[in-house]
Structure 1
Amino acid sequence: MFPNILQTSKSFLLHLLFWISVWFFYVYFFSYNSTDTVYITWFSSLLLPITLITTYLTIYILIPRYLLTKKYLKLLLYGFYVLAMSIYLIVLAIYGSFIFITNLDISKVPPMGRNFIFILILVYLIVGLISFLTMLNHNFNVQSQFKELENKILETNLQIKEQELNYLKKQIHPHFLFNTLNTIYGFSLKKSEYTPEIILKLSNLLDYILYQVQKPKVAISEEVAHIKEYIDLEKIRFQDRLKVNFDSQIENESLQIPPMLFLPFIENAFKHGNIINDYLSIDIQLKFTNDRLLFNCSNSFIDKNEAMTNGIGLENIKKRLQLLYPEAHSFNITTVEEQFKIELEIKLKKDD
C-alpha cells in the first residue's frame, strides 16, 4: 500500500510541476510587447485550467477509449465535443478578461492575446505535445510487455525442450544398459574370463551415462573414449564374428558436444546389424572440419530387418537432433548392397 501511495504522490508532484511550467510559459509568451502584468497573470491563470481540462480529456478518455481501441467514429464525435468545449471556454476567457480586467480598454490587451486562432493553436500545442508523449509512453510499455511476454514464451519453450531431451535420454539409457547387461549375463553363465573386464568397462560407461550425461555438453574426447569402450565390450561379446573399424579425426579434442550424441547410433548398428558371411561388419567415421561435424556409421544389413530402419531408437535420436540442432543438421539413412548407412552432418556455431 505504501509504495502505491508513494507512486501516486510522485505522479501528482510531476503533474503539478509541469502545469506550473506551462503557466510560466503562458506568462512569458503573453508578455511579448506588453508590460501589463496584471492582465497577463490573470489571463494566463484562466487559460491554464482550460488547457489542463482539454489535455486530460484527451489523454485519459479520447486516446485510451477511442484511439487505442480503434473506435474512430466515436473519436471524431467526442473529439469534436472537446474541441467545441475548449473553444467556448477560450472565448469566455478572452471576453471575460477584456471586460473585467481591462474595463473594455483594448490597449491593455497584449498583442499576443488578441488573436483567438493563435491562442487556440497555443492551447492545442500543449495538448498535442502531451498526447504525443502519452502515445510514446504507451508504445514503449506495449513493446516492453511484448518483449517480456516473448522472453517468457522463449523460456517456456526452452524448458519444454529440456524436458523433451531428458525424456529422450531416459529412453536411450535403459535400452543401452539392457543390451550390455545381457552380454554380462551370457558371459557369467559361461564363467568367462572376460566377465571382470566387461564389468569394469560397463562401470565406466555407467559413470558416463548416469553422471556426465546430465551435463548439457561434454568434450568430444569423452564421447570418443566411451565409444571405444563400447566397441571393446562388443568385441568381447562377438569374438571372431565381428569386423569393426572406428576412424576418428578430431583435431580439437576439447570441442563441446551434447553427451551420448553418437553412441546410440553405434549401439543401433550392433543391435540390429546382421551377420553376413560369418561377420558383423561395422565401419564408423567421425570427423570435424570447417565448423562441421561429420559422422558416418555403416553395418552389414539384410533388407528384411525392418526394426533397424523403423525402430524407436532411431526415431528418438531424430527427435533429439531436431531439438539440439534445429535447421543446423542433415541426417540421412540409406541401404546399399547389404549395407545400412547413417550419415550425419552438424553445423556447429563458433561458440560451441
Structure 2
Amino acid sequence: MTKIIIKILKKAFLHLLFWVVVWFFFSSFFSVGSSNENFIFWFSTLLSLIAIVSSYVFVYHLIPNFLIVKKQKLFVLYTFYACVFIVCAVLMTVVFGFVFFYNLEYQKMPGLTKNSGVILVCVLLIIVLASAFKILKHNFKSLEEKKTLENKFLQTKLQLKEQELQFLKMQIHPHFLFNTLNTLYGFALKKSDQAPEMILKLSSLLDYILYQVDKPLVHLQDEITHIEDYISLEKSRFQEGLGITFNKNIDIEVFEISPMLLLPFVENAFKHGSQINGVVEVTINLKVDENELNFTIENSSIKKENSKKGIGLENIKKRLEMLYQKDYFLEILQEDNVFKVNLKITKKNDE
C-alpha cells in the first residue's frame, strides 16, 4: 500500500512540475512587449488551464479509448470537437484580456496576446507534446510486454525441450540395460570365469547410464571408455562369432558431447547384427579434430522384410535434432549385407 501511495505522489509531482514549466513558458513568451504583470499572470493561467484540460482529454480518453484500439473514425471526430473547444477557449481568453484588463482598447494589448493564431499554436504544441509522450509510453510498454511474453514462451519451450530429453533418456536406460543384462545372463548360465570381470564392467556401464547421463555434456573419452567396456562384454558373449574393429583418430584432447550419444549406435550394431559365414562383423571409425566429430559404424546385416525398428535409433535421432539442430548430419543406410550409420557433429563455438 505504501509503495502505491509513493508511486501516486511521485506521478502527481511530475505532472505538477510539468504544468508549472508550461505556465512559466506562457508567462515568459507572452510577456514580451507588456508591463502588465497582472494581465500576463491571468492570461498564462487561463491558457495553462486550457492546455491541461485538453491534454488530459487526449491522454486519458481519446488516445487509449479510440486511437490505440484503432477506432480511427471516432478518434478523428472527437479530435475535431476538441479542436473546436480549444479554438473557442483561446478566443474567449483573448476577449477576457481585451475586456477586463484593457477596457476594450484593443491597440494597447501586447502584440502576441492579440494574435489568436500564435496563441493557438502554443496551446496545441503543449497538447501534442503530452499526447506524443502518452503514445511513446504505450509503445514502450507494449514492447516490454511483448518481450516478456517472448521470454516466457522461450522458457516454456526450453522446459518442454528439457522434459522431452529426460523422457528420451528414460527410454534409453531400460532399453540399453535390458540388452546388457541379457548378455550377463548368458554368462551366468555358462558359469563362465569371465563373469566377475563382466559384472565389474557392467557396473561401470550402469553408473554411466544411470547417473552420468543426466549431465548435459561429458568428455568424449568417457563415452569411448564405456564403448570399449561394452565391446568387451560383447566379445565375451560372441567369442569367435564376432569380428570387431574400432579405429580411433583423435587430434584434440577435449571434445564434449551429450552422454549416451554414440553408445546406442554400438549397442544397436550388436543387437541387430547378423552372422554371415558364422561371424558378426562390426567396424567402428571415430575421427575427431578441433571442429568436427565423424563417427561411422557398420555391421553385417541381412535385410529382412517388415523388420521392426527399436526405440534406440528413433530416440537418438530426436536427441540429435533437439541438441544439435543444424550442427549435425546423420545418415543411416541399409544395404544388402551391411547396415551403416554415418554421424557428423560440428563443434559449437561456445563449447
Q: Which moved more, 1:170-179 or 1:322-331?
A: 322-331
| CA deviation profile, 1:227-280 (whole Å, cap 9, x unmatched) | 111111111111111111112222223222111111111111111111111111
Specify every segment of 5 or more residues in structure 1 that has no aligned partner in the other structure, as ranges. Answer: none
**Aligned pair 1:347/2:343, yes or no?**
no
Secondary structure of the structure 2 residue equivalent to 1:193: coil
What are the superposed Cα offsets for residues 47-94 of structure 1, whole Å, 9 maximum, x if unpaired?
001000111111111111111111111011111111111111111111
Taking structure 2 as the reference length, the TM-score comes to: 0.96
Mapped partners of 2:140, 2:345: distance in 1: 40
**Cα pair 2:187 2:195 within 8 Å, conserved:** yes
Amino acid in the other structure paired with 2:240: D
Q: How does 1:61-80 map to 2 (within 5 A)?
A: 61-80=61-80
CA distance in 2: counterparts of 1:2 and 1:77, whole angstroms: 41
Cross-structure match for 2:262: 262
1:13-52 to 2 correspondences below 5 Å = 13-52=13-52
Q: Which residue pairs with 2:168 in the alignment?
A: 168
- Compared with structure 1, are the counterparts of its residues 214 and 314 closer, same or farther at alpha carbon in structure 2 (3 Å cutoff)? same
Shift of 1:187: 0.7
What code does the residue aligned with 2:157 have? Answer: N
Query: Using the alignment, how far apart are the partners of 2:225 and 2:96 within structure 1?
Result: 95
Residue-by-residue CA offset, 1:107-157 (whole Å, 9 max, x unaligned): 442222111111111111111111111111111111111111101100110
Question: What pairs with 1:206-221 in structure 2 (closer than 5 Å)?
Answer: 206-221=206-221
Q: How does 1:34-183 map to 2 (within 5 A)?
A: 34-183=34-183
User: Residue 288 of structure 1: CA displacement?
Assistant: 2.2
CA distance in 2 between counterparts of 1:173 and 1:347 reads 26
Deviation at 1:34, TM superposition (A): 2.6
1:334 paired with 2:333, answer: yes
After superposition, the C-alpha distances for 1:265-307 in whole angstroms (9 at most, x for unaligned) are 1111111111111111111112223522221111101111754
**Alpha-carbon separation, structure 2, partners of 1:85 and 1:155:** 51
| Distance in structure 2 (CA, Å) of the matches to 1:178 and 1:305 | 25
Equivalent-residue separation in structure 2 for 1:293 and 1:306 (angstroms)? 33
Question: Measured at CA, do residues 292 and 271 of structure 1 come closer, stay the same or move farther in structure 2, by a change above 3 Å?
Answer: same
Match of 1:301 in 2: 301
* Change over 3 Å in CA distance of 1:306–1:176 after alignment to 2: farther
Separation in 1 of the partners of 2:298 and 2:218?
Answer: 25
The 2-side partners of 1:305 and 1:350 are apart by 44
Q: What 5-or-longer segments of structure 2 have no aligned partner?
A: none
Is the 8 Å Cα contact of residues 251 and 290 (structure 2) preserved in structure 1?
no
Give the drift of 1:327.
Answer: 2.4
Once superposed, which parts of structure 1, at least 4 consecutive aligned residues long, lie more than 3 Å away? 305-308
State the match for 2:315 in structure 1: 316
For 1:306 and 1:225, locate their aligned partners in 2 and report how far apart those are by CA, in whole Å.
35
- Asked if 2 retains the 8 angstrom alpha-carbon contact of 1:284 and 1:296, the reply is yes
AA aligned to 2:317 is K
Give the superposition deviation at 1:26: 0.7
Cα pair 2:62 2:78 within 8 Å, conserved: yes
Contact 1:40–1:110 (Cα < 8 Å) also in 2: no
Mapped contact 1:220–1:253 kept (Cα < 8 A): no
Q: Is the 8 A contact 2:252 2:289 kept in 1?
A: no
Assess, with a 3 A threshold, how the Cα gap between structure 1 residues 208 and 277 changes in structure 2: closer, same or farther.
same
Comparing 324-333 with 268-277, greater Cα deviation is found at 324-333
What is the one-letter code of the residue matched to 2:186? G
Give distance in 2, aligned partners of 1:292 and 1:137. 49
**Number of matched residues?**
351
Query: Quick one: structure 1 residues 109 and 256, their matched pair in 2 at CA, closer, same or farther if it must change by over 3 Å?
Result: farther
> What is the rounded CA distance, in whole Å, between the counterparts of 1:113 and 1:10 in structure 2?
34
How far does residue 106 in structure 1 lie from its aligned partner after superposition?
A: 2.7
Amino acid at match of 1:332: E
CA contact (8 A) 2:39 2:101 kept: yes
Supply the distance in 1 between the matched residues of 2:184 and 2:212 (Cα, whole angstroms). Answer: 23
- Name the CA shift for 1:220/1:305 in 2 (closer, same or farther; >3 Å): farther
How big is the alpha-carbon RMSD for the aligned residues of Structure 1 and Structure 2?
1.4
Structure 2 counterpart of 1:334, one-letter code: L
Matching residue's letter, 1:339:
V
CA distance in 2, matches of 1:109, 1:174: 97
> 2: CA distance between counterparts of 1:164 and 1:298?
29
Matched-pair identity in % = 48
